[in-house]
């Protein structure tokens, strides 16, 4: 399969060329963030100690081993993105982030923000940390170490991919499409009933004695 | 029933202290082991899914999952970064005279040592201050569930370091009896759609039916950690397992929620009798890792890894 090779920092034109269904591979600096990191930036109002413009973020909190004054990776994987939904617009608008790598997808607010500011969501296989770690070259720096393991991680990856473009900058989301299909099929399954069994008589809510 | 009970140390070995340090060592090994190794039944189910899957995106993603398991084996490393919430299910042989409080202590120490010595990420924190003690332990964590196994003189430990992606997608509803089986079925299907991509599908969907609210959720988790291929012994519930497995796999959610035929690797139901006024149903899922690791510790402190079966599922 052909992967589009990309090297951060990324500009808007590169991002706008990507479409849902494309496969991407990334080489270069990728910043690891998650709940506590983003809460610090947005809810506690602290400026990140690094410039995130054109940057690629990874929703993560790795397992690491201390080696002198540095950290070595034990296992770097990806966490569920939906928890960080409310931070997407701010990351794109105020910090110039161009791509977020995550698993499980983001919701409608993020799809709109990506369309408006020029961003993409790249799906990686959640739980595939052994695979992901083999693409990691180095932990370049660790900012906000007091948030361990939810620090602001600065990783260098080589050929991290294939990553699937699942939310693009044109308002398309694979997750939204799959969810819509699943809801339609769910209605069909409920109507059909198990083994031809019809719908039950309507019952009063539980709560008696 | 046995007349005699064996006190650790009676059979020679390294004495009572040796037994509890064996529990500690075993807890440490199981915690790390569960994070590194994918159970054989789960591997087989993933391989079958890869063969059967018709979506090319889904095949690509399942291929990465299978490659990831190989890499974890080859490099002797963690399958996933999430070190989970440590949960231990203990099967206490009634023929063994042990101090449960010391066993609990040993499980906690083993968890802390795994975290420090491996080292593992600490995924456990205070629920309000969010302070992370960096040990993967804290007040009431590890969670420990006790069961008693008649007529045997060993202790079994089943370790589930439960990942948050799947655990966050947990559901409970106290349905009225009039909703019947159709209500159970509907709630489970709706929950799987609601969970969507988040629990790292393809999942093992665990369902609790009956009991009280707390028991129903506990049963759903028990169901999610049952080996793939096992069935509920009650034919009514086994039929519902089959029906829901087929139904869930027509939803098209697919691996990682990016579309495909494989949304569930298995559907398991555990049940209990319930109150005449309600029809509780709970859903708790395992991600594709299907993680679980077990060992049996004998009175002399000897540990056998991989043994399982005594911790009853239901």
Q: How do the domains of chain B map onto residue ranges?
A: 15-36+79-163+291-305, 165-286
Tell me the mean pLDDT in the region A44-62.
97
From A62, A128, A203, residue closest to B176, measured CB to CB:
A203
CB atoms within 10 A of CB A125: 28
Cβ contact B79–A181 (<8 Å) = no
**For all residues of chain B together, what is the average pLDDT?**
94
Cβ contact B71–A134 (<8 Å) = yes
Provide the pLDDT for residue A149.
95
Buried b (16+ CB within 10 A) or exposed e, B108-125: bbbbbbbbeebebbbbbb
Quick check: B278 and B216 in contact, CB under 8 A?
no
Provide the pLDDT for residue A196.
44
**For all residues of chain A together, what is the average pLDDT?**
93
Among residues of chain B, what percentage have pLDDT more than 90?
Answer: 92
Q: To the nearest whole angstrom, how far is the Cα of B63 from the nearest Cα of chain A?
A: 10
Helix (H) or strand (E) holding A122: strand A120-123
Q: Is the pLDDT of residue A90 over 90?
A: yes
How far CA A62 is from CA of A33, A44, B168, B292, in Å, comes to 10, 23, 19, 21
Q: Is the pLDDT of residue A200 over 70?
A: no
Q: Is the pLDDT of residue B314 over 90?
A: no
Provide the pLDDT for residue B58.
98
Triad A178, A179, A184: Cα angle to 5° = 100
Tell me the mean pLDDT in the region A113-135.
97
Confidence tier at B14 by pLDDT (50, 70, 90): low
Provide the pLDDT for residue B17.
81
Q: Within the 16-45 window of chain A, which residues sit less than 8 Å (CB to CB) from chain B? A: 21, 36
Tell me the mean pLDDT in the region A64-82.
95
pLDDT in tens, A127-139: 999 999 999 999 9
Cβ contact B134–A148 (<8 Å) = yes
A131: contact with B, CB 8 A cutoff:
yes
Quick check: B23 and B113 in contact, CB under 8 A?
no
- In chain A, the domains with their CATH numbers are 4-191 (3.20.130.10)
A181: contact with B, CB 8 A cutoff:
yes
Among residues of chain A, what percentage have pLDDT more than 70?
Answer: 92
Q: To the nearest whole angstrom, how far is the Cα of B256 from the nearest Cα of chain A?
A: 7
Tell me the mean pLDDT in the region B260-280.
98
Triad A154, A36, A141: Cα angle to 5° = 15
Provide the pLDDT for residue B16.
74
Beta bridge partners of B298: B154
Judged on CB neighbours under 10 Å (0-12, 13-18, 19+), A196 is exposed
Confidence tier at B5 by pLDDT (50, 70, 90): confident
Provide the pLDDT for residue A203.
41
Q: Is the pLDDT of residue A1 over 80?
A: no
Confidence tier at B170 by pLDDT (50, 70, 90): very high
Q: To the nearest whole angstrom, how far is the Cα of B133 from the nearest Cα of chain A?
A: 10
pLDDT in tens, B98-114: 999 999 999 999 999 99
CATH 3.30.70 describes domain B15-36+79-163+291-305: no
Cβ contact A127–B79 (<8 Å) = yes
> What value of ipTM does the predicted structure carry?
0.91
pLDDT in tens, A187-196: 999 988 765 4
Q: Is the pLDDT of residue B270 over 70?
A: yes
Task: List strand residue ranges (DSSP E) for chain B, in order.
Answer: 85-93, 143-149, 154-162, 171-175, 203-209, 264-271, 279-286, 293-298, 303-305
Return d(Cα B169, Cα B299) in angstroms, integer.
Answer: 39
- A81 → chain B, closest CA residue: B198
Confidence tier at B187 by pLDDT (50, 70, 90): very high
pLDDT in tens, A5-24: 999 999 999 999 999 999 99
Q: Is the pLDDT of residue A115 over 60?
A: yes
How far CA B232 is from CA of A21, B42, B177, B211, B216, in Å, comes to 40, 18, 21, 16, 15
A108: contact with B, CB 8 A cutoff:
no
Assigned token pair, B304: 């056998």
Chain A residues whose beta carbon lies within 8 Å of the beta carbon of residue B198: 80, 82, 104
């Amino acid at each position: 399969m052909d992967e589009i090779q990309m090297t951060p920092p990324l500009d808007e034109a590169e991002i706008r060329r990507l479409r849902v269904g494309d496969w991407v591979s990334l080489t270069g600096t990728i910043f690891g963030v998650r709940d506590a990191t983003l809460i610090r930036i947005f809810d506690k109002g602290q400026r990140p100690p690094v410039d995130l413009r054109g940057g690629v973020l990874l929703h993560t909190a790795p397992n690491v081993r201390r080696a002198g004054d540095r950290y070595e990776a034990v296992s770097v994987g990806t966490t569920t993105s939906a928890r960080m939904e409310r931070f997407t617009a701010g990351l794109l608008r105020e910090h110039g982030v161009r791509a977020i790598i995550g698993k499980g997808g983001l919701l409608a607010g993020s799809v709109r923000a990506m369309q408006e500011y020029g961003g993409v969501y790249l799906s990686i296989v959640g739980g595939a940390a052994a695979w992901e770690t083999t693409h990691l070259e180095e932990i370049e720096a660790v900012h906000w170490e007091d948030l361990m393991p939810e620090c602001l991680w600065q990783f260098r990856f080589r050929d991290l991919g294939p990553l699937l473009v699942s939310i693009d900058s044109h308002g398309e989301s694979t997750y939204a499409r799959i969810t819509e299909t699943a809801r339609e099929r769910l209605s069909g399954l409920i109507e059909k009933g198990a083994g031809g069994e019809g719908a039950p008589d309507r019952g009063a809510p539980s709560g008696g004695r | 029933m046995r007349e005699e009970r064996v006190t650790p140390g009676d059979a020679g070995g390294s004495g009572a202290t040796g037994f509890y340090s064996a529990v500690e060592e075993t807890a440490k090994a199981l915690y790390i082991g569960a994070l590194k190794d994918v159970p054989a039944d789960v591997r087989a189910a993933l391989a079958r899914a890869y063969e059967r899957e018709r979506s090319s995106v889904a095949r690509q993603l399942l291929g990465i999952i299978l490659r990831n398991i190989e890499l974890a084996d080859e490099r002797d490393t963690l399958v996933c970064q999430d070190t989970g919430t440590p949960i231990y299910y203990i099967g206490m042989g009634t023929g063994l005279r042990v101090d449960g409080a010391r066993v609990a202590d040993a499980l906690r120490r083993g968890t802390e040592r795994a975290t420090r010595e491996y080292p593992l990420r600490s995924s456990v924190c205070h629920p309000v201050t969010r302070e992370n003690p960096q040990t993967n332990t804290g007040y009431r964590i590890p969670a420990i569930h006790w069961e008693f196994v008649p007529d045997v003189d060993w202790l079994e430990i089943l370790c589930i370091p439960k990942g948050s992606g799947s655990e966050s997608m947990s559901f409970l509803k106290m349905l009225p009896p009039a909703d019947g089986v159709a209500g159970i079925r509907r709630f489970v299907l709706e929950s799987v759609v609601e969970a969507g991509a988040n629990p790292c599908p393809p999942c093992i969907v665990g369902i609790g039916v009956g009991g009280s609210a707390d028991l129903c959720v506990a049963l759903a988790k028990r169901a999610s950690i049952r080996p793939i291929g096992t069935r509920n012994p009650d034919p009514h519930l086994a039929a519902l397992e089959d029906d829901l497995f087929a139904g869930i796999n027509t939803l098209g959610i697919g691996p990682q929620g990016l579309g495909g035929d494989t949304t569930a690797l298995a559907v398991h139901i555990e049940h209990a009798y319930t109150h005449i006024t309600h029809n509780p149903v709970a859903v708790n899922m395992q991600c594709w890792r299907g993680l679980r690791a077990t060992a049996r510790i004998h009175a002399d402190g000897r540990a056998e890894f991989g043994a399982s079966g005594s911790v009853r599922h239901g």
